[in-house]
Amino acid sequence: MDPLSEILRSIRLSGGVFLSGHFTAPWCISVSIKPTDCVPFLKNPTQMITYHFVSKGQLVVGVEGQPEFEVAAGEIVLFPQNVAHTLGCGAAVAPVSAGLLIQHSEDGGLRRICHGGGGAATEIFCGFLASEDAYNPLMSTLPKALKTNVREGATREWIEASVRFAAAELAQDKSAMSSVISRLSESLLTEAVREYSSTLAEDERGWLKGVKDPQVGRALALIHHDLAAPWSAERLAGEVALSRSAFVDRFTSLVGLPPIRYLTLWRMQAAKQGLRETNKTIAQLAHSVGYESEEAFSRAFKREFGLPPTKWRDQHSVE
């Protein structure tokens, strides 16, 4: 079992391709993908990861607060937190909103953008990974943008063929939510996160460091697959064939927190998102994150955030 794949699979993402772009230098667009862009595929997406696959040419990506970076043909850039960004040729060109340039297909097929000054050409496919399941806070720990290189060997051929397959399906007024695209969506995110994790400093701590260790990675996969399960340090240690003390020591040294403290924090993050974005009762939320009683959940929540869940919801609910 690949722990990273198991952890990311627990997010239950579905993928789709919704737009192709043909650009010629000079050009620059501003991009902000909204949940409504996924409605043809998913009714109520609660979390979104957008991506662009460059099939020809190159482009420069801009994200607020970060240096610009280049993405070349055969590379994919993903935005785990779905932040607004710019795409362009790298020249000093004022960005045009991508929404103003989209050409909708009369038959409901793939949307297109054709834009630019007639110079060097860049072609991209734009897609998303999204889920209607409850928010998973793992994504908030990833950087705003992840770039992965799929230019070498069969990997690029399979990914490019899969993206083009989705585009062809949409052009024929068919859904691009096939098993091929579901597999593609998992592969894109997994490879991008794997490549990013390899760049982490040796002394960094967190789930991405822990996932590299066979036993700790397996425990993390189990936790994130079912936050509500009655996990204990003893049970997790047994699942990964370690003694309790050896497991706790190894988990803490790699992740930076003891396993049950880590579990509690992620349960509270999931609960906080549920309070903000759903109408579930406190009892329902308590059960969904592994608490048998509303009272126990409320006490744990207040310890973490200083307010009982009801008052926290009153102050933070999305209007």
Cα separation of 26 and 133, whole Å?
40
Q: CATH fold of 3-197, please?
A: Jelly Rolls (2.60.120)
**Do residues 87 and 52 lie in contact, with contact meaning Cβ atoms separated by under 8 Å?**
yes
What pTM does this model have?
A: 0.73
**Do residues 110 and 173 lie in contact, with contact meaning Cβ atoms separated by under 8 Å?**
no
Model pLDDT, residue 55: 87
Asked if domains 3-197 and 207-316 share a fold, the reply is no
Strand order in the sheet with 111-116: 111-116, 14-24, 121-131, 47-56, 75-79, 146-149
Task: List the domain boundaries for the chain.
Answer: 3-197, 207-316
Encoding tokens for residue 228? Answer: 């509500």
Q: Which of 88, 148, 76, 92 has the alpha carbon at shortest distance from 113? A: 88
Cα separation of 70 and 195, whole Å?
16
Model pLDDT, residue 190: 79
Q: Is 270 exposed, middle or buried (0-12, 13-18, 19+ CB in 10 A)?
A: buried
Which segments in the chain show pLDDT lower than 70? 1, 10-12, 38-44, 46, 106-109, 132-138, 151-160, 162-164, 166-182, 185, 317-319
Model pLDDT, residue 121: 97
Model pLDDT, residue 137: 61
The CB density around residue 267, as the number of other CB atoms within 10 Å, is: 24
Strand order in the sheet with 58-62: 69-72, 58-62, 85-88, 28-31, 96-97
Q: Which residues of 189-202 are buried (b: 16+ CB within 10 A; e: fewer)?
A: bbbbbbebbeeeee
Model pLDDT, residue 57: 96
Name the packing angle between helices 309-316 and 294-305 (round to 10°). 60
Torsion of CA 223, 225, 231, 234, to 10 degrees: -60
Task: In the chain, count H helices and then E strands.
Answer: 11, 11
Q: Which of 94, 23, 91, 25 has the alpha carbon at shortest distance from 52? A: 23
Size (the chain), residues = 319
Q: CATH fold of 207-316, please?
A: Arc Repressor Mutant, subunit A (1.10.10)
Question: Apex CA 295: angle with CA 294 and CA 297, to 5°?
Answer: 65
Torsion of CA 209, 212, 213, 214, to 10 degrees: 150
**Terminal alpha carbon distance of the chain:** 42
**Do residues 53 and 15 lie in contact, with contact meaning Cβ atoms separated by under 8 Å?**
no
Q: Is 110 exposed, middle or buried (0-12, 13-18, 19+ CB in 10 A)?
A: buried
Model pLDDT, residue 291: 95
